[in-house]
Every structure is written in C-alpha cells, then in structure tokens.
Structure 1
C-alpha cells in the first residue's frame, strides 16, 4: 500500500526570473493507494507525472511524506525502488542497450551473477511476453509496441510489487494499445498509470482526476470519467 500524507511538491519558477517564486506542482495531497489498478487522469501539467515519480522516489516531496509498504521514500529510496518499478512514456528513454536481450540481462545483473543463467532467464522473460523473436534485434528495429513491452519486461525482471507507468500508450497505435491493456490486465502486480487514454483508465478499479496539482475527483472509473469528459468538452 502507498500512502501520501500532506504531500507538496514545488520547484523554482525560472520562467519568472532567475530567482523566481516557487511553482507548486502538487499541493497537500493526502491519498491512500491500495487498489490493484489505479489511473491518474488530467490535463497536461496537472501533476500526474510528478505524482508517479514520487511513488518510487524519483523525486522527493518538498513537504509531507510518501511511504510504500511503510517505507519512507526519503529515508529508504533504494528499498522503495526495489518494490516499485517505473515504466517511462518513451521506451527509448529506458532502453539503454543495443538489443532486448542485453537490456533484460542488464536488469537481472544484481539478481543473477552467473552470465549463462542470466542470459537464459532473460530469454525466458522475453518469451513470457511473446518477445523472444526480438531478443537479438536492434532496439531501433522494433515496433513501438514491442519497445514498450521490452521496457515493461526490464522492469518486471527485478520482481517489483508495484508497476507505475507514465502514459504508456501515448506512442502506440491502436493494435498495440489493445495489446498493452491486455498485458496490464493479466499482471498480478498493483498497477498505477497516468494516461490520456480513457479506455485504459476505464479498465482500472479507481480513477484519480488531477488539475493544478490537486485532486478534483477520486472514485470509480464510470463516475469520474463521465465528469472528466464533460469538463473537458466545456473547455
């Protein structure tokens, strides 16, 4: 379970001058994230990505606390990141090796010291995602969906309890969006996504609507998304 208690995130607003006033990205959030599937929706700049990065300690709150299974992200960042895997919007920001096999092996390096065993485990993980045929291909030769699934596989390789994904379908065509939705539905992990894809949000158990760094509405997808659609249509 993830808990945010009085969380505020602010940064210097350099657009207002070299020593400009603070810009508030999130303001006094109090949330308990316990459901198996949670979506964050809201306009660009609403705070969705900032909130996701708080959940595995990629950024720390300016005030308040974020805890994962009782571990404070400020004090136990490494342990939190072992529990919470992060999937970026653009897989090329996450994949650093030349082939999927090499990337998954890199993730496995802290867990499996023997090179041969590590290679076989990486091949097995790719096979589980239907990606074994891509193992030795260049990352740049893969489709967008294949890259995103390879990124997810590198995250799953380190056996986290929670997956957070920042707009994971943004760069995907319709076929690959369906594919990723199916993969998410089959995973046993807690999954928390930020998304503009309301079909993805509708698959979840809970939707949190953010605007201006604050929660506008929080509840079951059918209710929240209906109100969110209405509000966006009026803008």
Structure 2
C-alpha cells in the first residue's frame, strides 16, 4: 500500500496507510470503526482506494482486479454472504465453473476440498441447512478450491461458538497460504509473524503479537 486513503462519502475510514505485507501470517486488530475491515477489503479489490495505490505482486487493484482476485481469496465474517448455491457441492464448484475449469478437474478439486474440511458427507445437502460452523468451513472451501496464493479472513470466528472457533482457528493455522486475519479474538494471533493495530483509520502499532497485542490491550483498558 502506498499512501492509501479511503472515504465513504464524507467519512474518512483510512488515512495515509503505507506498508508492505510480506509475512506468512499477519493479524489485524482494532476497535469497531477503526478501519481494519476496509483495510482487509482493499487487499483483493473488494474496495479500491479513494487515493493512493494498492499493489499485489505488482498488480494494481484498480486496473487488474481479475488477476488480483485469482491471487487473493477473501473469507467474510458471515458465510451466508458468500454461499450462493443451493447445495454444498454446487457452491464449491461455482467459482471453478466461472473460470472454465474442465468438468473432470472440477470434480476432483471439489471432492478434495470437501474431504479436507469434513463436508464430503454433506455434498448434496442444502447449504442453508448447515450449522454455523459448517457454513464457515464451506465458505473457506469455496475460496481455497480456487487456488489462491493468499487468503484474507475478515473476523471469521465472530459468529461462531467456542468449538467452531477453535476448529476454524486450526484450519487457518494449517494453511500453507499466506494469510491476513482480521479478528477480535486476540488468542488466535499467537504464533503469527506480525500484527497491525488500527486506530482512527491509521496503523497505530505494528510488530510481533507480543508487542502489539499488549499495546492494544493497554490502550483499550
């Protein structure tokens, strides 16, 4: 990001953010309204900056959006915002169909990701009847089947109970992909390489989890 700012109407939500993300696991924390979710959406072009530039592997999110989204997947807080097809398998397959992946390859990739996330037994199940935890796993599967190099998670455990929060945390921990995780669950960030703290649209702290989480907790106390 180079001198990135973003406004919603007359309200500035990000101000002069310049940084480079090169670490394997990056956490993002901050109070509600601090700008962290807008920051996350900028990373794969769901939002484009009002001013400044966001580059992914040298690709500008304004002008090369398709290529950017092939590299950066996005998992929303609410999986219902991401699940669009009636059955589990159809929903996972949807993005591959849009990419023109041949049917045999589509079937292989769908089956592989359903098995990996414990959804193979639900492949023909109505997606809207899944539990909250299963829906979030389905949303993650639908992103990962596309083969992104990086994945952004925007508060992926906020709507989940403790057992499913731990399950999703394990899924994220086991990913080989580079990840950016926006969260209020500070314990999810143990072992991360870097944590950013947003405050009033700016990066107020940037460092290891031990440094920045302590700073954030002290600031919020």
TM-score w.r.t. length of structure 2: 0.96
SS of residue matched to 1:56: coil
Name structure 2 gaps, 5 residues minimum: none
Q: How far 1:117 moved relative to its partner?
A: 4.4
Residue 191 of structure 1: aligned partner = 179
TM-score w.r.t. length of structure 1: 0.90
Q: Name the CA distance, whole Å, in 2 between partners of 1:201 and 1:41.
A: 10
Q: Name the CA distance, whole Å, in 1 between partners of 2:213 and 2:100.
A: 41
Deviation >3 Å, runs of 4+: none
Q: Name the CA distance, whole Å, in 2 between partners of 1:60 and 1:97.
A: 27
Name structure 1 gaps, 5 residues minimum: 13-21
1:112 partnered with 2:109: no
Residue 5 of structure 1: aligned partner = 2
1:170 partnered with 2:158: yes
Residue 51 of structure 1: aligned partner = 39
Q: How far 1:185 moved relative to its partner?
A: 1.1
Whichever of the two has the greater Rg, that structure is 1
Residue 133 of structure 1: aligned partner = 121
CA RMSD across the alignment: 1.2
1:212 partnered with 2:209: no
Partners of 1:89 and 1:166 within 8 A in 2: yes
Q: Name the CA distance, whole Å, in 2 between partners of 1:130 and 1:98.
A: 18
Q: Name the CA distance, whole Å, in 1 between partners of 2:64 and 2:196.
A: 26
Q: How far 1:56 moved relative to its partner?
A: 0.5
Q: How far 1:113 moved relative to its partner?
A: 2.8
